[in-house]
Amino acid sequence: MKRAGLIFFVYVTAFLVLAATAFIFVKILAEGTRVMTWDFIFEFPQGMPPGTAGGIFPAIVGSLLSGLVAAVAASFTAIALAAWLTFFCTNKTVYGICRFCTECVSGIPSILLGLFGYSFFLMHLGVPKSVLTAGLTLAIMIVPFIAVRTEKIFREFPVAQIEAAEALGISKAYILVTLIIRKQVRQLAVTVALATAYAMGAAAPVMFTGAVLYARELPGLADPFMSLPYHLYILVSEGYSLNMAYGTAFVLLIMLLGINILCRFAGRSGR
């Protein structure tokens, strides 16, 4: 009787989660397609207030650029951290402290990371709002995401191959670069891509460090930029245009879904 009740509870819970997810997706897709045109994707924002007409092309480019900066900065840091923890750290206390710090960073609300990025990059270092400062703040947010999954990838690598290479007198650093990372590069790329999609969907870290309401031209690394999540936040919170907000949400959703689908297929083909 208890087992039947537990099974019923699991099925009901799964159905509610799937139904809620499906409703959100269908609602955004249905409302977003009403304003979806080539002009909406490739034009600059227009109207008064800006964003109530025209397109969202600068926001698309800004989100991609900030995500790219975050991916580059976070991937090198996180992979190096995971490699050190897996192959070079022999002190269990130090390992535990590093893992604890990583878990703590992963649990920090994104709005606090945005405040830290604003305080450190803009106030302390005097760097103006830009793609670079926003990307570095996003990088801090996704370092734990990449590090934990990268460590799992490293620990799943066949130990026999590592021991055989060490028996030949090959250093751990050389084994790591030429054997482990080379064979697991697809899985590492998938991990970084998923983390990038996570960063591109965050509004709080970029609203303090780089995002602006309107941009007259496409941004460079040292320029403030429009971001899809922040643009969506402004459209909804200020009540400018719900239709344009749904269109922006539609584009952001398709971009993130596309990245996740590509990562899923890439991960399967790499096995």
C-alpha distances in Å from residue 247, one per residue of 60, 241, 244: 12, 10, 5
SS3 45: strand
- Output the pLDDT for position 48: 76
Q: What local confidence, expressed as pLDDT, does residue 229 receive?
A: 92
Q: Provide, for the chain, the percentages of residues in helix, strand and coil under a 3-state DSSP scheme, each rounded to the nearest 5.
A: 75, 0, 25
Structure-token pair, residue 30: 């249905």
Amino acid identity for residue 11 in this structure = Y
Give dist(CA 134, CA 205) in Å, integer.
7
Helix (H) or strand (E) holding 1, with range, is none
Structure-block tokens of residue 66: 């900030």
Please tell me the predicted confidence (pLDDT) of residue 2: 66
Query: One digit per residue, pLDDT tens: the chain, 271 residues?
Result: 667 777 778 888 888 888 888 888 888 888 888 888 888 888 888 877 777 778 889 999 999 999 999 999 999 999 999 999 988 888 889 888 888 888 888 888 888 999 999 999 999 998 899 999 999 999 999 999 999 999 999 988 888 888 888 888 888 888 888 888 888 888 888 899 889 988 998 888 999 998 888 888 888 888 999 999 998 888 888 777 888 888 888 998 888 888 878 877 765 655 5
pLDDT at 60: 92
Per-residue pLDDT at 171: 83
| Residue 3 pLDDT | 72
Pair 177, 60: CB distance under 8 Å: no
CATH 1.10.3720.10 given to domain 48-269: yes
Residue 171: φ, ψ to 5°: -70, 155
DSSP lists the bridge partners of residue 46 as: 53
Record the tokens describing residue 209, joined without a space. Answer: 């460090």
| Cα 120 from Cα 114, distance rounded (Å) | 10
**What are the structure tokens assigned to 175, written together?**
């084994």
